[in-house]
Chains A and B, each alone.
Chain A
Amino acid sequence: MKKRTGVFVCHCGINIAGTVDVKNVAEDLAKHPDVVHSEDYVYMCSDPGQKLIENSIKEHNLDSVVVACCSPNLHETTFRNCAKAAGINEFQCEIANIREQCSWVHKDKLKATEKAKKITRSTVEHVVKNKSLEPISIPVTRRGLVIGGGIAGIQAALDMANSGYEVVLVEKSPSIGGHMIQLSETFPTLDCSQCILTPKMVDVSKHPKIKLLTYSEVQEISGYVGNFKAKILKKPTYVDPDKCTLCDKCLDVCPIVVPNEFDLGLTARKAIYIPFPQAIPATYTLDIANCPGLLPIACGKCIDVCEPGAIDYDMKPEMIEEEIGSIVLATGYDLYDKENMKEYGSGKYADVLDGLQFERLLSASGPTMGEVLRPSDHKVPKEVVFIQCVGSRDPELHCAYCSKICCMYTAKHAMLYKHHVPDGQAYVFYIDIRSGGKNYEEFVQRAKEEDGVVYLRGKVSKIFEENGKITVWGVDTLAGKDIEINADMVVLATAMRPAKGAEEFAKKLKVSLDKDGFLSEAHPKLRPVESVTAGLFFAGAAQAPKDIPEAVAQASGAAAKAIIILSQDHLFHSPMVAKVSLNLCSGCGMCVDVCPYDALSLKNNKAEVNEVLCEGCGTCSATCLRAAIEVKNITPGQIHEMIDASVGG
């Protein structure tokens, strides 16, 4: 049966009409045997434009529609809904992209017009072979999963839980809090980081809708939007939190001393430990990697002194399976290792600290109880050099990107140092100061003017230890001279990197990463918290370097996106999915191997499509040597006709 197709050519103001003779395209397409109506309009996506399409469908009794306009990424949904409103199947509407793929990339109007005709004609060939399809309906598991218990993960979990949905919050370390709990005070208001974070942490622990799994790692995510299954490994802490009274006796007897990661190695901890006093959950963890062994014969001192019998050497790793509707990924960051910085001593000088170490030195709960003292000799440093962009903005040797937060925290560090040591001198080496943000610029100016921090515009070439001092060789490019400072302490604002292990984790979840290893969002402007996988959202520094307010804002955004899914009974999935011709399938399984969505499997030696998982990408179709699998409404037959229309006359 012949189709009755309508063609609607959009001017997009002069975006298309400036380079393409849109009237000519509409006239030319009218000659196509399947096209019964063809016209152009200045803004097809406008309300009158959509009305025009609707009316034409009814007036000319159209059964299919081609809209020649911008990318289908932008207005495909608009026009499909419009077709639906006019009473035809929405999958009988196709978009011919004559803007991004034609008018925007060409200058010659004649040639561009010819190309626009070919694009539109090939889309007509496509649509005339389209079948009417119905969206696939899928039920939703109305529970959320948040991976990562830093400030972003905490915020996302709280927002989702406060909206009435159950949330599973998974954190790999023994306590939630992330890096924010290590910080001293936060810019630009200088409020105490722990004081503002701990109430949120308590909220998490007390929230009836939040299931907190600390010391746990997500091993596998299977399923699809609305219906994920997460396998979570809960590592044994060997301490029963319900029995533990936090009497600290085990601490006294434990013979093993290792660097304390919470203080970034500035202090030591025992093999059995509580990460920090306000840890949530408040309990001990026996660090098995450092414990001499769980057999009483090896040590067993802690179990001997534990009066409430909270220590249990027989605790086993537990695999927890959770059913989930949507996921927020907030795996955070780590600092670029000082060891990568050869010119700055590769981390071998005790008095050359990174930003987080200095935070601990400033912190009232830190190793020096808030006094600024040199780690090497516990003397008050009288001259401190702060160096910005350590590893950042260095495309040749280190990271090409700007870590964004260092200008601000360095100003804060210098300022706080001056508050602790008023007679000391602080120097800051910088490339330039990036202080965009509410009250940020004022904050930096305050450091310079009120606290007398000396800002030197230039880079540091070398740092070395000499006579108990740290000699810093740098340059002041504004004064045009070399500078040598014999400092007592140096603080490096090292670059922000995606959290260690994030890369392997992303691979497990099949989330794509950008060139620097940060999570790569679906659209840099319009979908900044979404991944390309439906139902998976991003929050915090795992996506890009960001400060606390930004991480919190993004977390709330991601939570809102996750809630959009959880708030629905059913989700609808595009019916443009792969279909197997069983008589041609030889069961080789190559499609199963290449499917990026795990939508294919072999059943009775034939490929089988899980339509809900299939995103219709067509990789299977391209791989199949036997042409036994095709995507609905974009079949080889249609592609053949489209190629013919594109290359022929």
Chain B
Amino acid sequence: MVNLEEIKKEAKKILEEGKVKYIIGYAKSSNILMAAPVFIKKPEDVNKLIWNPTCFQNLVKFLLDEKRKKAREKEPDTRPVGIFVKGCDSRAINVLLQEKFITREDVYIMGISCEDLGVLDEKKIFKKLKDEKPEKIEFDQGKNIVISTKEKTIKIPLKEILAERCLECTSSFPVISDVFWGDRNNRSPKEPFKSLEQIESLSQEKKWDFWQQQLSKCIRCYACRSVCPMCYCDECVVDSINLAVTADTSAEEKAQKIKWIEKSPESSENFGYHLVRAMHLAGRCIDCSECERVCPVDIPLRLLNKKLEKVAKELFDYKAGLDPEQPSLVSSFKDEDPEDFIR
């Protein structure tokens, strides 16, 4: 069992020693079903830290902001940033290391194992509560969640309201860390790609209809892009206006910018956006499912990424983020790579 007091003790110690600039962790928020990211700079603030299944955000996204901030500073504080990661989040760090976006010295990785659990899925809870507002939650011996509303108190086994990705998770503990809490037991879910079953069973036309319907809902708020730790391009294909202009951007370069995808949320343009995003995440997505969670119109974006994850696994035995030294999926070639899909 992960002991929160030990976590706080370590956090306090490294802040006092000045080992890290600050710590990115989880704290209570106004929404009792969701922890809030917290940035702790002072040792006395470590009591704000929490660790429970409401800590579902992937905090790695904040490392991208940190890198940009550091680049702007004249004399940046070069100490690492402490960051709490779950198994999935830790693999995001590995991908960033693999892509040389951050260096190992930039981070002090505080890994917490999800052990045999995971994080919860708000939407699943709301379904169970039938729109009643939760007032108080408690975790009963790490097995159940006890939710009290105005009317009643219900006890739900955690397994029933865990996020889909946790049910399909194969490594529930951080694969890279400087300090570590919990166990390192590998999981072997019987069906690691079960969530794809339904969509894969559909005919080509039905699949098209499904995505046509789903993607036509997109309002192009780009929440999926904003939350994704892998979406760190300075300029995105969908908004060339946001061109990263620097002193050495020539007029010609600006003039050469092409609008590959229109900004308007039309179905065809939405397809363009989401498919480019999915392809750019192939071999990089670590299935934190944040994109799907933050989507205000409930597009099942995780399915796209999961499908690519499955293809990469089956064709190239590739899984993203296992090791910062592994060659990236799209830029590596092995002689035994299958070629039979090339026609």
Bound-state CA distance A576–B244 (Å) is 25
A583 to B99, Cβ gap below 8 A?
no
Chain B neighbourhood of A517, CB < 8 A = none
B101 to A583, Cβ gap below 8 A?
no
A623 to B258, Cβ gap below 8 A?
no
A635 to B234, Cβ gap below 8 A?
no
B331 to A594, Cβ gap below 8 A?
yes
Contact residue among A593, A623, A626, A640 (Cβ-Cβ distance under 8 Å from B233): A626
Chain A neighbourhood of B260, CB < 8 A = 640
Chain A neighbourhood of B100, CB < 8 A = 586-589, 602, 605
Chain A neighbourhood of B258, CB < 8 A = 636-637, 640
Interface SS, B side: loop
B328 to A583, Cβ gap below 8 A?
no
Chain B neighbourhood of A602, CB < 8 A = 100
Q: Is B256 at the interface (CB under 8 A from chain A)?
A: yes
Bound-state CA distance A582–B247 (Å) is 11
Residues 244-285 of B, flagged 1 when their CB comes within 8 A of A and 0 if not, give: 111011000100111010000000000000000000100000
Using CB atoms, name the residue of chain B closest to A596: B333
Q: Is A133 at the interface (CB under 8 A from chain B)?
A: no
Q: Is B327 at the interface (CB under 8 A from chain A)?
A: yes
Q: Is A590 at the interface (CB under 8 A from chain B)?
A: yes
**Chain B interface residue number, banded:** 20 to 34
Residues 624-640 of A, flagged 1 when their CB comes within 8 A of B and 0 if not, give: 01110000000111001
Q: How far is the CB of B325 from chain A (nearest CB, A)?
A: 12
Q: How far is the CB of A559 from chain B (nearest CB, A)?
A: 32
Bound-state CA distance A264–B253 (Å) is 66
Contact residue among B233, B235, B330 (Cβ-Cβ distance under 8 Å from A590): B330
A626 to B234, Cβ gap below 8 A?
yes
Contact residue among B233, B244, B246, B256 (Cβ-Cβ distance under 8 Å from A625): B233
Chain A neighbourhood of B233, CB < 8 A = 584, 586, 625-626
Chain A neighbourhood of B253, CB < 8 A = 581
Using CB atoms, name the residue of chain B closest to A595: B331
Q: Is B332 at the interface (CB under 8 A from chain A)?
A: yes
B330 to A623, Cβ gap below 8 A?
yes
Bound-state CA distance A421–B260 (Å) is 81
Contact residue among A583, A593, A640 (Cβ-Cβ distance under 8 Å from B331): A593
Bound-state CA distance A584–B233 (Å) is 8
Q: Is B210 at the interface (CB under 8 A from chain A)?
A: no
Using CB atoms, name the residue of chain B closest to A587: B100
Using CB atoms, name the residue of chain A closest to B98: A588
Task: Scan residues 242-272 of chain A and give those whose CB is less than 8 A from a CB of chain B.
Answer: none
Q: Which residues of A contact B (CB under 8 A)?
A: 581-584, 586-591, 593-594, 602, 605, 623, 625-627, 635-637, 640
**Which are the 8 A-B pairs with shortest beta-carbon distances?**
A593-B331, A590-B331, A588-B99, A637-B256, A583-B246, A640-B258, A594-B331, A626-B233
What are 26 residue pairs bridging A and B, where the CB atoms are less than 8 Å apart in the complex? A583-B234, A583-B246, A586-B232, A586-B233, A587-B100, A588-B99, A588-B100, A588-B101, A588-B328, A590-B330, A590-B331, A593-B327, A593-B332, A594-B330, A594-B331, A594-B333, A605-B100, A623-B330, A626-B233, A627-B235, A627-B237, A635-B256, A636-B256, A636-B258, A637-B257, A640-B260
